[in-house]
Chains A and B, each alone.
Chain A
Amino acid sequence: MPYTAEISRSNPTSIIFLVDQSTSMSDPIGGEVPQQKADVVADAINRLLTELSVKCAKEEGVRDYFHVAVVGYGATVGSAFAGSLAGRDLVPLSEVADNPARVDERSKKVPDGAGGLVETVVNFPLWMDPIAHGGTPMNRALQYAESLVAGWTERYPAGFPPIVINLTDGESTDGDPTAAAEAITSHATADGAALLFNLHVSAAGGTPTAFPDSADGLPDSYARTLFAMSSPLPSHMRSYAASQGQRVSEATRGFVYNADITTVVQFLDIGTRATELR
């Protein structure tokens, strides 16, 4: 059965984030609280890396179940890590966790144990800052990811295949990205084809959507193109999404429109989940 390979330190997998940093990302996203698309995407990356680090954290440090790249595309295409990881591609997760560019403190409301909420200060590590400059060379970015995927599948031919997560407003300026997306998912390990998921941040409005099984109701051609490029969710990810109350079918794809994509981290199986009784 595909997508059942163990993800472990001896059989790690890779996650390649592609981050749209084009000028159009300075536009506001639709919704009640207007936010720049670039802020939404940088925030999503920082929270994804935080969740991934915490998920793999053990008392001796963060375990290298994953190697992570953050690739920006705008005026240039290349590593979007800030701080000491600047310029690097695939980095073992332990190094990512130990080297955020900075750690901010943010206030957060948490349950007080008596039915109310209390404000507390939490650490908020940051690996990249919002950037909005240049065109949207999505084809070049996907080709960059493809070269990383190709290298990884050669190195770990039996492992869980690489996952590419593209965060964008979809407005590619170097042509239709469909073929470059297919080139990524044409690489495979013995466990299955590489996965490509997309987060579409858009000013077009419409209903925020996470992991839909059809393009019906998506507001524009950019969203429909990104939906079509996205891989169907493997069976265990669908099961997890369903257990969290999402409506899923065999056609459910790794596509999110103007909604939270950080839940995707929870789709990754590294062993027994740590969940409170309900």
Chain B
Amino acid sequence: MYVTHLVAPKHGSTEAECEDAVAVLPGRPHDYMLREPLTAGVCDGATESALAKDWARLLSRAAAEYAMELPDVLAGGTAFEEFASSAVAQWEPWLVQYTQARHAEGRPLKWYEHTKLAEGAYATLLTVRVDPDSDSRADTTEPAWRWRAAALGDSCLFHLHDNRLVQAFPVAAVEEFGTTPDLFGSRNHDVALLARRTRFTEGRCRPGDRLLLMTDALAAWLLSAPDQDDAVSQLLEFAGPDDLDGFTNWLNGLRDCRQLRNDDVALVRIDFEGR
């Protein structure tokens, strides 16, 4: 199993302003063959909230770490609620530190920031864990993997077999995207509600399969592509961190011809090999 990820800001924003965030564990180079469990968190910070990028980074990392420690978080219920509590509990201390740092820099929070930060920061959250499948039948030599995913909002997972789409989660059709996805609020202590609104699924991968995790703009482009096989093959041109410039240029080309909404883009690509 190989994993790589690419994150590119929307046209007109700087890298530092990008509000999509990805965390992948274990942190290995893209050409390192993973034989152990893998976890990933993908977050899309809401444009309208302040510090959305910081919350997206904190939340994606918290999700990847928690799923690595406690795989049951991907079964939902109490385990997910406990994770949600632990993630929300990290926000206030972070914000206190941030506020102090701003003060120390001589840039204390302005009136509109006080108002805005009282509302909290918001992001989608897609959490994925992949395990080498211990249930695979002894009479087959072909390796297999089990994946589990949890999604709050419209960051998506696509399962490809022989580069053809076999599953899209949690959004299956482009019409389902909008400007009001479900979001994980940094001050939402109603963890039962967070767990209830999060959707859970799982599947199995065989050699030749891939999982693609991505935020909404790119997912909407893939789901609406008139020729999906061609769209997948274009996307698979980008296979490592060295491809970031090419990826960004390709995204800008799609934006110019209005095929892709101008938004931040995060992509995680997990390739399963062994044939």
**Which residues of A are at the interface with B, using a C-beta cutoff of 8 A?**
6, 8-10, 50, 53-55, 57-59, 61-62, 97-98, 100, 103, 113, 122-123, 125, 243, 269-277
Contacts and interface: CB of A to CB of B under 8 A. Distances in A.
Nearest to B54: A59
Interface stretch (B22-30, B105-113, B135-143): B105-113
Nearest to A276: B185
Contact of A272 (B111, B181, B185, B262): B181
B46 A272 contact: yes
A103 B111 contact: yes
B119 interface: yes
Contacts of A97: 110, 112
B51 A59 contact: yes
A107 to B, nearest CB: 15
Most buried by A among B54, B110, B114, B194: B110
B193 interface: yes
A98 B113 CA distance: 11
A63 B189 CA distance: 29
B274 interface: no
A277 B193 CA distance: 8
A273 B112 contact: no
Contact of A274 (B110, B112, B119): B119
B122 interface: yes
Contacts of B122: 272, 274-276
Contact of A277 (B113, B197, B262): B197
Find the residue from B49, B114, B197 having the highest chain A CB count within 10 A.
B49
B50 interface: yes
Top 6 A-B pairs ranked by shortest CB distance? A271-B47, A274-B49, A274-B48, A272-B46, A57-B112, A123-B111
A270 B12 contact: no
B48 A270 contact: yes
Contact of B48 (A10, A98, A272, A276): A272
Contact of A273 (B44, B120, B179): B179
A113 B114 CA distance: 19
11 contacts: A57-B113, A57-B116, A100-B111, A103-B111, A123-B114, A243-B180, A269-B179, A271-B47, A272-B47, A274-B183, A277-B190
Contacts of A59: 50-51, 54, 113
A62 B185 contact: no
B273 interface: no
Contacts of A57: 50, 110, 112-113, 115-116
Contacts of A125: 111
Contact of A271 (B112, B119, B179, B197): B179
Interface string B35-55: 000000000101111111010
B182 interface: yes
Nearest to B255: A6
B228 interface: no
B182 A277 contact: yes
Interface string B184-209: 01001110011001000000000000
Interface in B101-155: 110-116, 119-122
B12 A10 contact: yes
Chain B CB count within 10 A is highest, among A53, A270, A277, for A277
A254 B263 CA distance: 29
Contacts of A275: 122, 180, 183
Contacts of A61: 110
Nearest to B122: A274
Nearest to B178: A239
Given A273-B180, A277-B182, A62 B49 contact: no
Contacts of B185: 276-277
Nearest to B216: A272
B115 A122 contact: yes
B17 to A, nearest CB: 8
A276 B188 contact: yes
A9 B115 contact: no
Given A103-B111, A276-B120, 11 more contacts: A50-B112, A61-B110, A97-B112, A243-B180, A271-B46, A272-B183, A274-B46, A274-B122, A276-B122, A276-B188, A277-B193
Contacts of B197: 277
A61 B107 CA distance: 11
A273 B12 contact: no
Contacts of A273: 46, 48, 179-180
Contacts of B193: 277
B208 to A, nearest CB: 35
B120 to A, nearest CB: 8
Contacts of B190: 277
Given A243-B180, A272-B46, A272-B181, A62 B112 contact: yes
B254 to A, nearest CB: 14
Nearest to A9: B12
B106 to A, nearest CB: 15
Nearest to B115: A54
Contacts of A54: 112, 115-116
